[in-house]
A = this chain, B = another copy of it.
Amino acid sequence: MEGELKELLTDLKTLKSSLPDRSYQALIDKMQSRLEHLSTIATSGPVQRLKIKDMSAEVVDSNPYSRLMALQRMGIVDNYERIREFSVAIVGIGGVGSVAAEMLTRCGIGRLLLYDYDTVELANMNRLFFRPEQAGMTKTDAAVQTLSDINPDVVLESYTLNITTVQGFETFMSSLRNKSFCPSKEGCGVDLVLSCVDNYEARMVVNQACNELNQTWMESGVSENAVSGHIQLLVPGETACFACAPPLVVASGIDERTLKREGVCAASLPTTMGVVAGLLVQNTLKYLLKFGHVTPYLGYNALKDYFPTMEMKPNPQCSNSACLERQKEYALVKPARDAATKAKMESEAPSETECLHEDNEWNISVVDDTDLQGPDVGKSSGSLPEGLIHELPSADEFQKPPVSEESADPVDDLEDLKRQLEALNSD
């Protein structure tokens, strides 16, 4: 628009200078001042903030980082500004992934890699982030448009591709390996991969990539009935990988792709997806900036506001060969790591810290929800369409271990772990 207005102005000036008759002068002058005004409006456009070189803790209204840098003064984070060194890959820019991307962008993350092949539709407007005028754009393009406006300091890389195709997987792998953003970094080029996809196949591809690259990642999911979700931390070799304990939807032999084609429209809510994205990015911040406790598995049952947690050991018979390799590597470094952790704990809190049982490393805790079993609870059980299951079991289906005043018994038995995983993680 600016260009056309400028050319119009040039044409008007040409006309003005070539006209011999001065009686048209006033009208042409009026037109000229109007055009100049329009050019000013068109070029100013929406105000975008400039890039900021260093994060400041100064408490002024114009500082977009003051409330984040305050985390240091409040004693929560040692060095907030380190966030600018980190790269996070988000696979799937839907209801969870787009909000996760916005949160990380507003937190001033160094670099975001975004993967999706889908386009924005009006049917997505019941979740946060995308706007109706973006309908028809690819989700990656729409996300880059919005995120770069929000925070121009974040380096955004978008990949409009399907990671489950051969070509897509190759590009995915090479983008994760690329270390040009931070060449000194150990391992691959990203610090964390967030899986925010909506199907099993894509999760297995992320799992494959992260096992091959020895890359820590976090999984997230929301159930088809929109009222439960989960996040899970996956450290290759150290925790169960996604193939170690396949979720129930696969265990029951149903092909998810078939389900989707049969016209089943999954329900979704901005609330559930917002909560899951918030919990996911909160744990991402804790993991990257080293504060608090990163939860290995956290479920969210929206009907009861119930948040189960658990931890899962890798499966020594996992079908994923890269996972088995990572398990072997971890077994070699584990004794030294345990000794260092023990020494650190003893030096930091010699008398106050309770000694952790070494044979209970994957202490499984199941939160008692007896008091929540009111008449309103679980009333939707069994009302799902055929082939779909609740992400979290209803209270009466849930197998609780006996509650005692001591810490829970270690659950080392693989079958037990698988059974618990199946009960909880079925998205």
Contact = CB atoms under 8 A, between A and B. Distances in A.
A291 interface: yes
Given A61-B122, A74-B225, A76-B226, A295 B285 contact: no
A107 B270 CA distance: 7
Contact of A70 (B5, B99, B265): B265
Contacts of A383: 74-75
A156 interface: no
Interface residues on A, range: 35 or more
Contact of A18 (B24, B41, B128, B277): B24
A31 interface: yes
A134 to B, nearest CB: 9
Contact of A127 (B27, B106, B303): B106
A326 interface: no
Interface of A: 1, 4-5, 7-8, 11-12, 14-15, 18-19, 24, 27-28, 30-31, 34-35, 37-38, 41-42, 46-49, 59-68, 70-71, 73-76, 99, 102-103, 106-108, 121-123, 125-128, 131-133, 135, 149-151, 224-227, 263, 265-272, 274-275, 277-279, 281-283, 285-286, 291-293, 295, 298, 302-305, 307, 309, 344-345, 348-349, 353-354, 356, 363, 365, 367-368, 370-377, 379-380, 383-385, 388, 403, 405, 407-408
Given A298-B305, A367-B367, 11 more contacts: A11-B31, A62-B121, A62-B122, A67-B127, A73-B385, A102-B270, A106-B128, A274-B274, A275-B278, A291-B303, A365-B368
